[in-house]
Structure 1
Amino acid sequence: MLWVERCFARLRRGLSPLSRFVGICAMRRGNECRRASTLSASMRKTVWSISERLSYCPNPSRISRRCVSSEVIWKGSRRMWISIGFLFFLSGFTGLLYEVVWVRLFGLVFGNTTLAAASVLAAFMLGMALGGLLIGSRADRLGDPLRMFAWLEFGIAITAPLVLVSRPALEWVLAPIYGHWPGNSFAAYGLKSLLAFVIMLPATFLMGGTLPVLSKALVGEKEKAGEGIGVLYGVNTLGGVVGCLLTGFLLIRSLGVSSSILLAVTLNLLVAALAFLLSWRSGTEMASVTAQRRRGALLADPRARQIAFVMAVSGFAALGYEVIWGRILVFVFTNSVYAFTVMLTTFLLGIAAGSFFGGLFIDRLSRLPRWLGWVEVAIGTTALLSGFLLANLNAIHRAVFPIDPGTTWLEWNAIRFTEAFLVMFLPTFLMGISFPLASKIIVAELEFVGEAVGFLYFFNTVGGMLGSLLTGLVLLRSFGAAATLVVLILSNLGIGIWLLMHHKLAGSVRKAFAYFAVVLVLMAVTVQVVPAGVFSGIYSIVEEGFRIIDYREGIEGTVTVHQSDFPMKRDRRLDVDGLNVAGTSFMLRTLQTLQGHLPNLVHGPARNVLQIGFGTGQTSRSALMYPIERLTVVEISQDVMELAAKHFSDINGGVTRDPRFLCVISDGKNFLKYTPEKFDIIMNDANYAVATASASLFTRDHFVNCRNKLKPGGIFSTWMTTDLDPEDFAIVLKTFHSVFPYGLLFMAPNCINKQVVLIGSTEPIRLDVAWMEEQLRRESVKADLAAINIQSVFDLLSCVVLDSDGIGRISGRADISTDDRPILEFSRKAVRSRDLCALQNLARILRFRPALRNLVANVPDSGNFWNSLLRYEAASLELFRGLVVFYQGNVQEALETLLSGSRIIPESRLAEEYFRHMDAVVAQLSYEAQQNPQKLEPWLKLLRYRIGTRQFEIALRMCQELTAKFGETPLLLYEMARVHFALSQFEKARSELMRALELKPELSGAWYLLGVVEKHSGQFEGARRSLLRALQLDGRMYEAYNALAGIEMSQGELRQAIGHLQKSLQLMDFQPQIWANLGECYFGLQEYANAVRGYEYAIYQGLDSPDLYAKLAYSYYFLRDFARAESYLNEAIRLDSDNSEYYYNLGNVLVNRGNLSAAAEAYRHAIGLSRDHPDYFNNLALCYRQMGDSVAAERVIREGLKYHPQSELLSRSLRFIRGSME
């Protein structure tokens, strides 16, 4: 004993500079076990405190492990605890990072289906479970668990990249068998699961072993097992929380999937290195357990089996809850990748907090199985409460957490976290308590920490794996969300009550079976009696004004069918997880019809066509009107097919019965990757490019796959929406254009439209007019297009809004979205008005609209065609301008613009739906208000419409009536101020705005209007302050920049005005008057080239002012471009032939062009209109003199002197002319 103490003393003093290993071996005969113990020392002078109790041994040269007390396995300092805790935190961080990115990677290989994702997650969890069980079973035999942890982390770093580097090999393996095993077959999913398991097994197996190994390292006393395991489990889970949060919110968007994996590998290597260092500095190896045990001891122990069963059921229920909560909350949080990140982060946060909290008190408790029973009962009870909260979350969301266009991206995610916390935190907090509590029970009985933790971890993880699989793939589809939730609740309650009653059931297997039989019967009864529509209200949260008429809670999501409540407009909509994918509104029918027709009309005769996404089936019906041989439709959800057949047969015509129709239930992107077929046309029927469900179909990788599967001359088309944020809209176009250099963007000017069809090819696209006219003569095609008011080839050509050049100019320097860095899916744009985004994108589109004559081919030899084409081009531009004005809220001006456009093409019905829509708006808004008389919002919508149609007197009466009914609310005061401002009652408007801002200081619109009112009242400094405050609250308010620029222009601050005008135009391109103002500022600064740019954009966007043309002409004059100056002055004269100044300046231009006779005629016209300007007479006289007619010149001067006898200019010219005559 003294010899051993001397050894430790030498090590502490650092007397052994070479830090050699000293081995002490004990060899015993007979029944004594043969073991070896190794004590290590470090080279550092200070060695961490080591406390071991060594029993007396008769022979000090032989120290058996039996002499080492198992009561204290290891006691490290507080610093050591913190150091190892930090390493385990990083380990948890990388673990969740791997899980998130691996699921994405395997989704690209196996398909983005729920079954494929479930297979990958199951393989991940099974690997973790096996690692926990097998490594944990050996953890107690380790000499140095900390060093073993370092080796585990090093192994993870080495094996984790296998998932990334094996992707090409996996695709090579799957490609040839894809044709033999359909992608959605169980054989295919079995193979995918096996491949995922094999590839992930090395890394996940090692990950699973980290918890039992560190539990062995840090749990020093069996009395402190609960605290040690709880803290470790909590730290690791907290690392997972941060890993999930940063991966979902930052890393994938900023670094990409591959770089995120490399970051995790780097962190694993860092953790391994630090763990090795800590092990070396600790200066000792951990003592192993006292006695050798036979294998299977845990399974043989009744208490261990019972607790393992409880934790397996608890894990099953926990992951089942996660699936259900995620499926329901997506309707509130929207179909966004950030919504899923928020839910998973909140789930893990609750578990981490519960584990920490549980660790603080578990070791002080007695009768631990009963406490575990109460925890399980509490989980079931709080899960029931969260179910009630979920059922009513729709109302809570609208009342407490309203989302409006002013909500920022951070605010929206804060709301998501808050609502997820309300639903999830209590149950997950209790789940976090259960694991260290159960671990303490087993450790207290068996005194084998590592093996016990690994054993429990295995059953808990396998239970969770089965819960996730069965809930998502079986229970939800079979019983629905509500019944499944109750089954899970009963699972927790059942095992909790069983633990509480265990003393009554102990020793009787028959009683235990009887008890669980009763629980199962209760579950079966519950499935039958729980109302199926408990959560149907929340399924309608994104479809305000539409009631749910049918839904399917299926494997690939919740598919819902909604119908409008308005008697005059019975539109139906088809949604998947809250995302609208199709419907029967005129806008959606227009899109669905054109998506089927346009690719066929652009391509020419096609044989083999592929459509990704079925929707209502209307697109398929339209496509099959052409003589194609086969239409293959790849739809990810069987429920979409069934509900479309049931509720949308009126627009799809039972298309699935067509013998040429082939349906494949699979992920369209994955199908296209592996199919050996090539197609004439591929139609991408995804819609919202930033939604999780659609974003993968808008990446460059997918577009490349589509291009590779097209036959020569093939056409690719995709559905898009214009109500994306302008930056995201540009990213879609840039990504598309990087693959398809030739493209056209179609948008029908036949309704209030936000839907476009983007068509691309690797070869130049020309629209074959003869082919299009031939197809339009076919009755089926003609009738189908007539249903959306398209009756001629000119109507179709009017839908072209961009060509390849325009697509390139709009996308500019935008980023490209890829599978590795899916920036569209991870868009961080704030919640914005869909109408505002549609307005901004349409404005940019119209700026680059091409001349239609450059896009057509094979046209008839008739001048009438070209004349008609020009008429339709001009008319459609007016219709689009009317749509822009409508989005700006100027309803009356929009109607006037639309009417102007329709008069150009009286034979067309393109504008018909606009007017029908306008007629229906008042009736619809009135109906909404009458149906909800106690709600202010419907009345505000009607009031805004009255203001937009300039019915100010009616609007004022409405304001007064609503104020009497609802009181002075901020929004109502704001609308009343708008009315008074329109009536030029500025003081009243100012007073109402001040009251509104007292009630709601963050109302940015009120600050803006206050600034405008103060500007009109001449209070420029106050106006500046108000407008700047509005911009602080909402930096996207381009109108405020315009108002500031107006103040600066009036005060001669042209350079400052230019800055504000440019910011406004960056936010909203389609502002003709603002472009004109920008040109005016540059003109005032004599920067004529920039002035020309401003004036020309204003003209292109429809500003038709004679003064604008004249200013543009003057700019060209100073740039010495006299030909264009003459052209624009003639245009100004065309619009205002009584303006003498235009004729006078035209004369000046013509003189510079050398056309003196025309110049003299222009001067004479100017004098005929006005004799008030002596320079008119002077320039005409000089023109005559230059022509050699000095007599006429003198006569003009004398005539001028009659009107301006004091003119020095004319007197000087007269002397000059007379001198020249002499």
Structure 2
Amino acid sequence: MNTAGKFSLTKETARSVLFLVLFFSGISALIYQIIWIRKFGLVFGVHVFSMSTVLTAFMAGLALGALYFGRLVDKKKNPLLLFLTLELGIGLFAVFFPFTFHGLSEIYASISRNFPLGNYSVQLIRFLLAFFFLLIPTTLMGGTMPVIVKIFTDNIGKVGSRVSLLYGTNNLGAVVGGFLAGFVIIQHLGLNQSGYLAAMLNLVNAFMVFLVVRFTRRPEYVTELQEAKDSVSSVTKISPGLLKLVLWVFAIEGFTTLSYELLWSRILIDFSIDKTVYFSSTIVISFIFGLSLGSFLVAGYLDKNKDLLTLLGLIEIFIGLLSVFFLLFFVWLAPKLVAQRSMLDSWLQTAGKEYFIFFLILTPPTLLMGITYPLVTKLAADNLAFLGKRMGLLGFLDTIGSVVGSFVAGFIMIPFLGVVKSFIITVCINLVIGLLVFVVHPVLSVRQKTAITGITLLIAVLIMLRIPSGSYTREWWDKTKRSWFDNNYYESVLFFDEGAAGTVTVRKYPHGLALNINGHNTAYTTSKDLRVNRQLGYMPYLLHPEPKSALVIGFGMGATACSLVQPDMERVDVAEICSGVIKAAHIFAPWNRNVILHPKVHLYDDDGRSIVFMTNRKYDIITSNAIHPRLSNNIYTRDFYKLCREKLTENGILCQWMPQNWLTGDEYKALVRAFTEAMPYSYLWYVNEYSTLIIGTMQPLRIDVAQLCRKFHSNDAMQKDFKEFGVPNEWYFLAQFWFNDQELKNYVSKAECNTDNMPLAEFSKVINIAPVIEVMDTLANHPVAYEQILTNVTTRQLDSIKFYAVIERDHIKSIARNVRAFMKHRGY
């Protein structure tokens, strides 16, 4: 009799529904992971330790869930009900996540602001909060795979093909989820709405499982132990001692998989032309796609093959050899790709092409990694009654191995050994565990084992001899490159440091030095760039009537912090998350005057946003060192500016670099609007064709010209700096003022707003680094009302200001005209 009385699902239809459920579950899981890590980053900071803390907590929950629910499902008569509960619980948690996360943020803020904590204590609190908060949903997620395998496996002899298809389907869903989150839904829906979409998938899953339970006869999905007896002959039997070795190999491979992912990310981001969210999404998608494809490819093979130990050993060896081969291939290919780059090509022609190449390089070794999960399952699962428990153990070992791999690679191997040596060590681990499988193989002869070992070592040595030097970026950066305006130029690497937070280099060009972080030049010693970086400090200092304290977010070359170390300043705090930047500071001593050694300067090794969030201190000046919003969007959102506003004194000033290149006109307006919506009063200053500065004040800005002149001439070093970057006097300085508060708000009134929830600038696909013509036209044609903000100014002084403003306006028009002509000449 049917459970519904009138209608019943066939076994095939029910299984198809469950495959769809598993696919949706993979989609939602990756969306959650990306969203939750981003959300935690906004509170805990984007420091690598903070992010790894969240990821470790996430993975730990998955491991515990696999272990617990794997054991539990063996005791359930109808595992479908347990699976329904898991999907429902995940969906409900996601629905309430924005509200519960807000409460967690308040708890963290209260603890960090009211208790004097050291760096270790802060990291411990972050871990505990993240761990216990994510424990519920991630434990539920970890339980889905062992439970679904138990549901689908009614014949232990077919466990290899079942797990291959299930694991492949779930990972394929994760690929789709990673693509949707990284390329589509966060950009168009926002973080919170994307989380709700993922929650809807889990709730739909729960409903579909309910329909399967309701409209399918129970015997279809009740596991009968008797069925196992019919397939004992097809079970691969290995000794208990050998099984322990296989499980250790599986756990160690989980270690190497996450290690490879981190190492490849560090190698490729140094090279990639686009280092935004699209890059990180591509790496994740490539790895998971390989895992999915590998699992699918062996679905029909594992249950027929009797010598799976040999296959396991070969896979581990080939993972190592393929990985090092593709590293050599990429080092050879990279300079050729650089030579073909054109900043005038489309996103697809440049970044899209590079991402596709990354995908092709990462897929082969990860495909082999994807085979190991179902393969080890086939070796380890020999009893249908305890299948859930064994699957839970495998999930636990794989996840714990991944957690350890991520931690060791990120915090031990890379900082102390560098990326290349860490890569070689990881390759050697795969080779060793692969050869170990052959050494203990009970069937192979000594001659066969010796031959396999000798051939493997010979190939490995030959390949290792071609490994690049530790400072691998020299392999493709110490070459002739072509800039966007088609002039050849040379660069050489003077300083190289690989740390947990990133790879830092100092590069020498004919026109000066550049500070490079993860392959992107963030600051130059040219007069054009110094005009920006020094005025990020000088401008708020000169505009504030009596500044005493300042917070600089990002050290860079040190020019901004140096500008704020003045006789009347009492304290200058600097937040810098990348230790390599501080190590390179001595190279820029001629420009920063060894400011890190000054007693007024206090360095904080943490994310700038996290410092703003945690501190109880209030500042007269908060200024953000120049790093492009596409690379650090979290310090260009309305939410961040509101945090800064809370940490300003009554007459405090917030200063932010606002670039008008590498963006669209609408994206530039979105960035400006984020600032104007957060600050009571906002004022835009033009610096050069690539840079504007925006000043936010708590009170209407009124510049006492007489007082400003006294401050301007009170410091010889300040006057020297201004003259060096092309601002000869205080009148030229004031001529940089462009928009008052109301004018700026009118300018961006119809624009979208860049927020934590809608990070618009981060998803920009602009490749051309030329100034945005639309913005330049607006600046060139905007009449400036200096009288509205200046006090104690004479007519002659005002005329001098307007004279220099005419020079700047003509320069803007000239730049816009030249860019138009150049683009037209190139056919754009």
Would you call these one fold, judging by a TM-score over 0.5?
yes
1-structure distance, mates of 2:337, 2:802: 51
1:318: which partner in 2? 257
What's the secondary structure of 2:300's corresponding residue?
Answer: helix
Instruction: Give aligned-pair identity as a percent.
Output: 28
Q: Distance in 2 between matches of 1:174 and 1:763?
A: 31
> Is 1:586 matched up with 2:547?
no
- Counterpart amino acid of residue 493 in structure 1: L
Partner of 1:1032: none
Aligned residue type for 1:390: F
**Cα RMSD over matched residues?**
3.1
2:382 pairs with 1:450: no
Equivalent residue number for residue 763 of structure 1? 699
- From 52, 56, 65, the counterpart of 1:131: 65
Matched residue, 1:802: 739
1:94 equivalent among 28, 50, 55: 28
Residue pairs, 1:1074-1089, within 5 angstroms: none
| Candidates 498, 504, 513, aligned match of 1:559 | 504
> Partner residue of 1:1159?
none
3-state SS, counterpart of residue 743 of structure 1: strand
**Does the 8 Å contact 1:591/1:755 carry over to 2?**
yes
Partner of residue 6 from structure 2, selected from 33, 38, 44: 44
Q: 1:131 to 1:124 in 2, by over 3 A?
A: same
Task: Say whether residues 1:876 and 2:808 are aligned partners.
Answer: yes
Conserved in 2, the CA contact under 8 Å of 1:184 and 1:665? no
1:200 aligns with 2:134: yes
Report how far residue 180 of structure 1 moved.
Answer: 7.5
- Give the aligned partner of residue 1133 of structure 1: none
Question: Are 2:513 and 1:550 equivalent residues in the alignment?
Answer: no
Q: Is the 8 A contact 1:375 1:430 kept in 2?
A: yes
State the Cα distance separating 1:272 from its structure 2 match. 0.8
Question: What is the deviation of 1:107?
Answer: 0.9
Q: Residue by residue, what CA displacement relative to the aligned partner does 1:710-755 show, whole Å, maximum 9, x if unpaired?
A: 1112111011222132111111111111122422222346xxx422
Change (3 A) 1:793 1:47: closer
The residue identity in structure 2 corresponding to 1:636 is I
Report the residue type matching 1:834 in the other structure: I
Match of 1:782 in 2: 719
Q: Could you tell me whether the CA contact under 8 Å between 2:160 and 2:378 is conserved in 1?
A: yes
Tell whether 2:629 aligns with 1:689: yes
Quick one: structure 1 residues 641 and 180, their matched pair in 2 at CA, closer, same or farther if it must change by over 3 Å? farther
Instruction: Report Cα offsets for 1:757-780 as digits up to 9, x if no partner.
Output: 211113211222111210222222
Query: Does 2:779 align with 1:834?
Result: no
The corresponding residue for 2:434 is 496
Does the alignment pair 1:212 with 2:212? no
Deviation per CA, 1:94-120, whole angstroms, max 9, x where unpaired? 111111111011112211111111111
**Matched residue SS, 2:762:** coil
Q: Is the 8 A contact 2:639 2:678 kept in 1?
A: no
Alignment-mate amino acid for residue 878 of structure 1: D
**Aligned equivalent of 1:165:** 99
Per the alignment, residue 671 of structure 1 pairs with 611
Structure 1 contact 107–117 (Cα < 8 Å) conserved: yes
- Tell me the CA shift for residue 446 of structure 1: 7.3
Q: Secondary structure at the match of 2:474?
A: coil
Q: Please list the CA deviations of residues 280-328 of structure 1 after superposition, one character each: whole Å capped at 9, or x if unmatched.
A: 2221141254699xxxxx9994343222111111111111111011112
Q: 1:711 to 1:226 in 2, by over 3 A?
A: same
- Give the aligned residue type for 2:519: G
Give 1:242-321 correspondences, 5 Å limit: 242-285=176-219, 286-289=222-225, 301-321=240-260
Aligned to 1:738: 677
Q: Which is further off, 279-288 or 148-157?
A: 279-288
Work out whether residues 332 and 538 of structure 1, in 8 Å CA contact, stay in contact via their aligned partners in 2. no
Alpha-carbon contact 2:25-2:170 (below 8 Å) kept: yes
Q: Which has the higher contact order (CA 8 A, sep 6+)?
A: 2
Corresponding residue of 1:819: 756
Shift of 1:451: 2.0
Shift of 1:449: 2.6
Shift of 1:81: 2.7
The equivalent of 1:953 in structure 2 is: none
Kept in 2: contact 1:687–1:721 (CA 8 A): no
Match for residue 14 of structure 2?
80
| 1:609-688 matches, cutoff 5 A | 609-645=550-586, 647-688=587-628
> In terms of Rg, which structure is larger?
1
- Letter of the 1:144 partner, please give it: N
Cα deviations by residue, 1:483-518 (Å, 9 ceiling, x for unpaired): 111111111111111112213799xxxx9xxx9xx9
After superposition, where does 1:87-486 map in structure 2 within 5 Å?
A: 87-161=21-95, 163-178=97-112, 185-285=119-219, 286-289=222-225, 301-330=240-269, 331-398=271-338, 402-407=341-346, 409-412=347-350, 414-444=352-382, 448-486=386-424
Q: Are 2:756 and 1:852 aligned?
A: no
Aligned to 1:969: none
Counterpart of 2:801, as a letter, is L
Q: 2: distance between equivalents of 1:805 and 1:542? A: 43
8 Å contact kept, 1:88–1:232: yes
- Is the 2:659–2:690 contact (alpha carbons within 8 Å) kept by the matching residues of 1? yes
| Cα-to-partner distance string for 1:790-826 (whole Å, 9 max, x where unaligned) | 2222111122222223322432311011112211212
Change (3 A) 1:881 1:46: closer
Moved more, 169-178 or 650-659: 169-178
Counterpart residue identity of residue 289, structure 2: L
* Counterpart residue number, 1:1091: none
Deviation at 1:410, TM superposition (A): 4.5
Unmatched segments (≥5 aa) in structure 2: 229-236, 484-488
Q: Is the 8 Å Cα contact of residues 43 and 105 (structure 2) preserved in structure 1?
A: yes
Q: What letter matches 1:216 in structure 2?
A: K
In 2, distance between residues paired with 1:615 and 1:885? 32
Shift of the 504–449 alpha-carbon distance from structure 1 to 2, 3 Å rule, reads closer
CA distance in 2, matches of 1:812, 1:147: 52
The answer to whether the 8 A contact 1:332-1:394 is kept is no
Tell me how far 1:47 sits from its aligned partner.
6.2
Unaligned residue ranges in structure 1 (runs of 5+): 1-10, 15-40, 49-75, 293-297, 891-943, 945-973, 979-1003, 1006-1036, 1038-1222
What residue identity is the alignment partner of 2:614?
Y
Distance in structure 1 (CA, Å) of the matches to 2:798 and 2:15:
83
CA distance in 1, matches of 2:686, 2:65: 56
1:772 maps to 2:708: yes
Does the residue aligned with 2:755 lie in a helix, a strand or coil? Answer: coil
Tell me the amino acid that sits aligned with residue 811 of structure 1. Answer: V
Give yes or no for contact 1:327–1:557 (8 Å, CA) kept in 2.
yes
Question: What are the Cα deviations for residues 802-851 of structure 1, in whole angstroms up to 9, with x where unaligned?
Answer: 22233224323110111122112123x342x322x344322211222413
Q: Which moved more, 1:104-113 or 1:776-785?
A: 776-785
Conservation of the 8 A alpha-carbon contact between 1:241 and 1:349: yes
TM-score between the two structures when normalised by the length of structure 2: 0.91
Deviation at 1:163, TM superposition (A): 4.3
Deviation at 1:263, TM superposition (A): 1.6
* Alpha-carbon separation, structure 2, partners of 1:316 and 1:460: 8
The 1:160/1:681 distance shift into structure 2, 3 A limit, reads same
Q: Report the Cα distance in structure 1 between the residues aligned to 2:117 and 2:779, rounded to whole angstroms.
A: 40
Counterpart CA distance in 2 for 1:184 and 1:424 is 40
Report the equivalent of 2:234.
none
